[in-house]
Structure 1
């Protein structure tokens, strides 16, 4: 049913990613509450501190791109987990704002380093199997991570039943321990070593910026990533303020998406295995475009149709996300020049970073004009991404688009 890749040599990698995701799912929803309730930092300052540290950490993908060819993706991934463990452990004892800011910055740098190296390590693991395993690997690891996030979020909800500061301390401490366990698992995994050796064959070229076509791919991927991010950024506000629906709907709607993401990645790859990666990504973009217009139109629907309409909206969105996710990363991996994959995938991480920065601001600015406007903008962005994908694919290696 799930069409899994060959895992025999890489079980520690799969377990490490799962452990990482469980820890992140536990502490992620409670981090801001930890800063305000345990560290006693005012909400505005806490939010500004997190935003500032995330912004500073944006330099990390470029720096990782400069050194990953020499150090290897696996080594950077291990260092990233250690940094995140150290940063969160520091938060357990930090109480004044400068100390908290330093700890969150260390954790944010580790997080960016993780996403700047994990794709290269997964791509390297996929090289131990047949060519089509690359898509299966990215689908499988997405499933593992989404399942971990969901389990972690459920655990976070259970922790909130405990009194006082204990839930927040346990959440941060558990996540720090998960990062440490993940680093230990990665130490015994064999993934990533081939990337280091291959990239070392071109030490001078690996330090340059990606080629112009690949930078174009990063830009197109950022547009797709915006479509993938905007639901999480704006669904709650749209449900409550745009549609005047109960806030209690938001959790179950996001849970539907999480469950589908956790279970549907590999089946989606299997069902579309005969289609090229570019065709699948363009199909996802078209679905997102239709989804955006449909979601915008819910503001015109009668009250009795809002709940089923929102459920259908999340289902359509999830289909696009399932189609796009693993194909996008696999395409980016194979579109990189030989010997420079880990370096290029470090830069590719900017597509997600830019989308995560842009989505909340664009949603807020357009929603203030009209509640339907963010979804119309998303529809247009999806169509632009489709056109851009078709055009940029002509300048990238044709074999990267293979089914």
Structure 2
């Protein structure tokens, strides 16, 4: 693993659906305000580069820091969980392992639903936010762009994203499979965040239902989405009366505490509730009502239908693309490591060139300095190219070669 700064290492720390349940993930969910606080306070903790991912399925920090626990402390200071709770279910990756993890996450291979490419959008957003605050170094910029390139190629060159590609689509699949006469049922969507919007779009597209109502705490946001699909919008104050009339309630708000409990459910007819929120926005006490069936996104994501099984067949092809782009990134990284040595060598050869040209100028009448300079420039370029080629293919001995070249040519170590 190659470091941009000797006192820093590249780390990936986080938790995901694999070991952390929805409640635990909710404790470490990062709001936009918390994300800004994390980034703004990162430098004070010795973090030189940082980007953040926070979705319903994972919370992760990628960055250069003195150690992994520094990033863990920063995360826990701005969320609702403790360090002990985090470490109990977390992963801490360093160097090459951190790079490999980011490639898996960004290309959908680590998603709860295999091939879900929504995560790459979250990575792009986090990257732009960090770059705006000048918290992205050349290493991370190149790495994130490489992951974006891999994601695009996998999406275009394989069928790993065919069929359902998100929790929101899985929710609609679940509804259609379990609710008879779907087109005639009343559907209420509470919350218009990203998952809510995607669910709404999938409901309209796949159910042919004309009885979909939207409610959001901020009515203007609901109006904007409803206008796109010609749906009905009701005030937040009407949520109890709307729940009483609905057959399917989809909750996708961004609230930090439950917004739906059994106290606001007055209907006796069968009611299917899908909670797509992290943290959970539907209180568990609704299950005490005999007419209510509550499904959380964790349950939806465990669907192992034929489509998901078929996608698994494309994993080797996706991994081959990742390896190809990772190799390219590592080659670039290796070049960055020895580039200062080559630059310092070229500067030293230029010094020798200048001294020799001056000597010849003094001793040789009618000396063509332009011709001699052009010829020696070509020689310097050939020497530095040969050295760069050797260092690029040093096969694990780059450090030794750099040290030897530096000693032989007495290169300034501050420029290496």
TM bucket (normalised to shorter chain) is under 0.3
More helix by percentage: 1
TM-score of the superposition, structure 2-length normalised? 0.23
TM-score of the superposition, structure 1-length normalised? 0.24
Which structure has the larger Rg? 2
Name the structure, 1 or 2, with higher relative contact order (CA <8 Å, separation 6+).
1
